[in-house]
A and B are shown apart, each in its own frame.
Chain A
Amino acid sequence: MMLPWLLGILVAGGLLAWAAGRIAPAWARWVAVAALGADLVLVAVIWIRHYQGLTLLGAPAWLLEWQVPWIPRFGITFHLAVDGLSLVLVALTAFLGLLSVIASWTEVKARVGFFHFNLLWVLAGIIGVFLAMDLFLFYFFWELMLVPMYFLIGLWGHEKRIAAAFKFFLFTQAGGLAMLLSILALHFVHGRATGVYTFEYAALIGAPLGAAAPWIMLGFLLAFLVKTPGVPLHTWLPDAHAQAPTAGSVILAGLLLKTGAYGLIRFVLPLSPEAVRAFAPFGMAIGVAGILYGAKLAFAQTDLKRMVAYTSVSHMGFVLLGIFALDGMALQGVVLQIVCHGISTGALFIVAGAVQERLKTRDLGLMGGFWNDAPRLGGATLLFALASLGLPGLGNFVAEFLILFGTFRVAPVFAVVASLGLIASTIYALSLFQRIFHGTKPGALRLQDIGAREVAVFAALALAIVWLGLYPQPVLNTSRTAVAGIGDAYRHSSPTPGQAKGAPVSRDDPGPHVRGEAR
């Protein structure tokens, strides 16, 4: 019963925050904090309770499951389940969600209740995406997170918010539609073959698809690559980020992009080994292109938020590379990269929000020399810029290196080219920090330093990123059974098409995607 609570608290909290906002704005904020705090505690309880079981070999695939019929006529059920992968992501969602509410405490002044309603509902949609084990339900949550995000950008964004919100909506919607087609195709292909018309994950994913496999995969790919984002489908992202309010940017970068990566791992990789293996080199190429192209564009930007947005493209390139390397080590790196990128980029967006709130501009050309004004904010920016460039000791390093180590074993050329990203990230990350804090002030602007509330937010993020940099094992352990098996199955199975049929995800494989309890 814990899983529906995770969602229910946020849904109810959202409605309550909306109502409370009519009495006083502060109430809406506190309601949101309470709801997210409760979720965070809940996740922590689940994690601690199941941590031992997670690390054992042969542990059940799902730690928790909850299922009620929804639309039985079409074989749709309300089926939630959590494994190590989704647990990590749900924990990240609650953590970043809570911090983004606290970070935008003073930024949002209009329609505060409605703002927090949207915020909580986006987060509910995201958690739903991570938990849904029915493909129709998955699609439902996929759309649910879209609409409130549209409002967050469109209503509380900056000067060009309407256009940015539209662009975001259209891109994601187009991808979502392709995915819907694939889900329906999967439903009917499976139904025709077996006579059972269902949207159940365990039944559909990994079932033999025949010639339709590449096309079905393509629909999923389109949706997830738009979201992740993969070059050249990334262009909605800088606009959406630049215009979104701080909390919106944090959730976009830290969580929404991750639903794309999650979808790739959860749905695409186990879908059809032959099709995936055929696509893998292109997937890795998209990842490497993202790493370098994103970095190059990040360096060129003069808008602080656009700059951070493009660094996201670069970092998510590592995620794509690691996913399509089809290697267990790389996939473990991917999960860690998802978490660390959420934290470090989330923090940089909070920095950008703090700067914009104080200076009323995001133009880097008007900044510089603020170190003496705001040493605390400067220190925080430096720390997360260093995380962003992959400094050892901070989480992103372990993540990126695991991805590169894993990729090198299977595709050394891609790994070597991707390593150039280490140089590129140094250039943009230093430039980001220096353009705000070094040199002389170009004008009379003064950057007021951060107060206790923001220090607390950055301290929480800093602790997290240092912990992940020095002892990331809990996260790696948690996700190991869920992801390492997928990649290793690919690595050990023969790549020849004749033998590959069903090899990685066969029915009696103890891997994560054959759920013993599937009825």
Chain B
Amino acid sequence: MATLLWLIPVLPLAGFAVLAILGRTMPRRLAAAIGAGSVGLSAALALILAVRFLGSPPPGDALTVNFWTWFEAGGLKPGLAFHLDALSLVFTLVVTFVGFFIHLYSTGFMAGDEGYSRFFAYMDLFVGSMLVLVLASNLLVLYLGWEGVGLCSYLLIGFWLKDPVNVRAAEKAFVVTRVGDTALAIGLFLIFSRLGTLDIQEVAAQAAAQWPVGSTLAIAAAALLLGGALGKSAQLPFQTWLPDAMAGPTPVSALIHAATMVTAGVYLIARMHAIFELAPPVRLAVAVIGAATLLVAGTSALAQVDIKRILAYSTISQIGYMFLALGAGAWSAAIFHFFTHAFFKALLFLGAGVIIIGLEEEHDIFKMGGLRKELPLVFWTFLAGAASLAAVPFVTAGFYSKEWILSAARASGPAGLWLWAAGLAGAFITVLYTFRMVFVVFGGPVANPVRRRPGAVMAVPLVVLGVFALLAGFLETPRVLGNLPFFSGLLRPILGGRGPEPAGPAQDAVLVIISVAVVVAGLVLAWLLYGRGPKHGQTTESGAGTSRARGFFFSGWGFDWAYDRLFVQPLAWLARINKNDVADLPFRGLAGAANGAHAALARTQTGRLRWYAASIAVGAAIVIAVAVLL
């Protein structure tokens, strides 16, 4: 099993290395084979590993492989080692599987692009880094993967690097997440200075032993880790980078939103939940931030017209649900929602990608319309993904994961009612923006004919992901709906059980009924407003009185505007006014003074004897005067 384990992250990294060094000289098919093949192989190995892991669990329910000690100095001795337990197994499976289908799709999507091998090199590095992140047994190694995915998001968002817009979006993603990363780094400094280790298992044990619940150190450590998680997972107040990140090729968005990158924050908090359990105020903050984010992002999604921006805001919003679950202490529920979300969000992005290239780079949903007839396969699969996103009851995976989160939020203590209400409101908004998108894009008459239809390599991932988007939810169902606790049972050794639960099945049933009612209401409203396609939708939205609110939501609640004035412009101004380094002024002054004195004294060198004689006489007089007077 150990060999399988280390091969899983090493294969994509090796794929990256080969493509980075030789990629430009090799034929495209070989580049695609290496790029997608390495991840595919990883996925296959991950599956074998999972079967063996579940079939005969290793001692301690965990498996570790050691490469070597990264470095050793001053008591810090991070081992480059991988640690596989149920939590990292879930992430590994999702990252490799969803990653592989995105790679497969990309071999078709990127055909004809001049940077073909470069694209697969970056994508492999992305998957490899994410695997390092989730398999790391040490926080510093986790940070290695953490920064690796940050780098790859930069490289891939700015993949089409001739357009300054893409480059700026890429830079924004890297810099904004790096702010969070710095908080995480400081968190590592703090943890190491107090606990003397960065090994994840030891940190958890030491923290529980040394820090009482609610102690300042535990709160500070948890808050700093949270800072890192908020940045990577695009939660308030760091969410601004993600909507712009759709500047990259569409498969990149699928990868960032579903399998890698934005879920890293969720993983970090779940992985370090021992520390968060010691810091109740921070846990409340996680829940509140999640609730706020899911509402802010959900309303912003309602106002977007760019299909990828709608999906981007929906990701922020869905990760808000995951944070809500984490804050409520339902760690496994967050991971379950990550699990279902990975399938339906990857699917939605890949479907959007087919539409976008089919309509020659059209992103505006109101210029689509009628695609149900033009792209039936995309329609049916997209519908499955959308239904799952909207948590359509009983038949979709999203319903089960969201329901778990909502019931846990409701049962999570004094703030539970409010958190649950926010989640419920978010669920309503989610249905609304999701089916607004579906009705406008696929409904009504055909507006523009489709020029390019997907081949098999692009269709297969859609179908596979579509199946998972519907069925993945049956791994865990509520007590009143079959009571299947497989997923929470899997994660029980690491994350504990299901988390907070309502008092009994009756309360469960009430919550389920309310959720179903909310989703149905949302569907009905969406149908009334947008049901007859883009024309109908435009009429609805041009209705009086909504334009100012729409503008506010469209701009994502004005965060970019505010940040621009608070940070970007002042810093740019500071850079501009002091380009020539004020610290050099004294030295330039000194040089100027020397030059001035030189000029002044040079003027006394007139060559006129009378002046010299006079100055000698005056000087002598002064000297004598001084001598006499003193």
Cβ contact within 8 Å between B182 and A420: yes
Contacts of A420 in B (CB 8 A): 182
Question: Known contacts A328-B74, A402-B74: does B190 contact A238 (CB below 8 Å)?
Answer: no
With the chains together, A327 CA to B76 CA distance in Å?
13
Contacts of A412 in B (CB 8 A): 189-190, 193
Binary flags per residue of A426-445, CB closer than 8 Å to B gives 1, else 0: 11001100100111100000
Cβ contact within 8 Å between A426 and B147: no
Contacts of B171 in A (CB 8 A): 430-431, 434
Q: Would you mind naming 24 contact pairs between A and B with Cβ atoms under 8 Å apart?
A: A167-B587, A231-B583, A232-B586, A296-B574, A297-B581, A329-B74, A329-B76, A369-B162, A372-B114, A391-B148, A392-B144, A401-B140, A401-B185, A404-B185, A404-B189, A405-B188, A405-B192, A408-B186, A408-B192, A412-B190, A416-B186, A420-B182, A430-B154, A430-B175
With the chains together, A214 CA to B182 CA distance in Å?
37
**Chain A positions 219-257 with a Cβ under 8 Å from a chain B Cβ:** 231-232, 234-235, 238
With the chains together, A288 CA to B307 CA distance in Å?
45
Contact of B73 among A231, A333, A440 (CB under 8 A): A333
With the chains together, A7 CA to B116 CA distance in Å?
51
With the chains together, A426 CA to B150 CA distance in Å?
11
- Size band of the A side of the interface? 35 or more
Cβ contact within 8 Å between B164 and A296: no
Q: Which of B64-72, B270-278, B489-497, B596-604 contacts A (4 or more CB under 8 A)?
A: B64-72
Question: Known contacts A297-B578, A426-B175: does B182 contact A471 (CB below 8 Å)?
Answer: no
With the chains together, A327 CA to B583 CA distance in Å?
30
Chain A's closest residue to B584 (CB) is A235
Contacts of A391 in B (CB 8 A): 147-148, 151
Cβ contact within 8 Å between A476 and B71: yes
- Whether A136 sits at the interface, judged by CB under 8 Å, is no
Having A329-B74, A426-B178, A472-B71, one finds 14 other A-B pairs with CB under 8 Å, namely A329-B75, A329-B76, A392-B147, A404-B189, A405-B76, A405-B188, A405-B189, A405-B193, A408-B189, A416-B186, A422-B181, A423-B178, A430-B174, A439-B167
Contacts of A293 in B (CB 8 A): 583
- Whether A473 sits at the interface, judged by CB under 8 Å, is yes
With the chains together, A408 CA to B74 CA distance in Å?
12
> How far is the CB of B13 from the nearest CB of chain A, in Å?
10
Contacts of B144 in A (CB 8 A): 392-393
Q: Contact residues of B with A, CB < 8 Å? A: 20, 24, 68-76, 80, 114, 140, 143-144, 147-148, 151, 154, 158, 161-164, 167, 171, 174-175, 178-179, 181-182, 185-186, 188-190, 192-193, 574-576, 578-579, 581, 583-584, 586-587
Cβ contact within 8 Å between A329 and B73: yes
Cβ contact within 8 Å between B143 and A392: yes
> How far is the CB of A290 from the nearest CB of chain B, in Å?
11
Contacts of B80 in A (CB 8 A): 470
> How far is the CB of A227 from the nearest CB of chain B, in Å?
16
Chain B's closest residue to A302 (CB) is B579
With the chains together, A327 CA to B193 CA distance in Å?
13
* 10 A-B pairs with least C-beta separation: A329-B74, A300-B575, A235-B584, A232-B583, A408-B189, A392-B144, A300-B579, A332-B73, A438-B167, A438-B161
Contacts of A328 in B (CB 8 A): 74
- Whether A94 sits at the interface, judged by CB under 8 Å, is no
- Whether A361 sits at the interface, judged by CB under 8 Å, is no
With the chains together, A434 CA to B581 CA distance in Å?
23
Cβ contact within 8 Å between A422 and B584: no
Cβ contact within 8 Å between B71 and A299: no
Contacts of B73 in A (CB 8 A): 329, 332-333, 402, 476, 480, 484
Contacts of B179 in A (CB 8 A): 423
Cβ contact within 8 Å between B175 and A419: no
- Whether A213 sits at the interface, judged by CB under 8 Å, is no
> How far is the CB of B268 from the nearest CB of chain A, in Å?
15
Interface centre among A330, A391, A431 (most CB of B within 10 A): A391
> How far is the CB of A470 from the nearest CB of chain B, in Å?
7
With the chains together, A31 CA to B114 CA distance in Å?
44
Cβ contact within 8 Å between B72 and A473: yes
Contacts of B162 in A (CB 8 A): 369, 438-440
Contacts of B151 in A (CB 8 A): 386, 391
- Whether A409 sits at the interface, judged by CB under 8 Å, is yes
> How far is the CB of B556 from the nearest CB of chain A, in Å?
22
With the chains together, A480 CA to B69 CA distance in Å?
16
Contacts of B154 in A (CB 8 A): 430
Cβ contact within 8 Å between A405 and B178: no
> How far is the CB of A382 from the nearest CB of chain B, in Å?
8
Question: Known contacts A296-B578, A297-B578, A422-B181: does B161 contact A371 (CB below 8 Å)?
Answer: yes
Cβ contact within 8 Å between A235 and B74: no
With the chains together, A473 CA to B79 CA distance in Å?
12
Cβ contact within 8 Å between A471 and B164: no
Chain A's closest residue to B587 (CB) is A235
With the chains together, A439 CA to B189 CA distance in Å?
38
> How far is the CB of B320 from the nearest CB of chain A, in Å?
25
> How far is the CB of B203 from the nearest CB of chain A, in Å?
14
Cβ contact within 8 Å between B148 and A392: yes
> How far is the CB of B586 from the nearest CB of chain A, in Å?
8
Contact of A296 among B140, B190, B575, B584 (CB under 8 A): B575
> How far is the CB of A236 from the nearest CB of chain B, in Å?
8
> How far is the CB of A288 from the nearest CB of chain B, in Å?
14
> How far is the CB of B190 from the nearest CB of chain A, in Å?
7
> How far is the CB of A480 from the nearest CB of chain B, in Å?
7
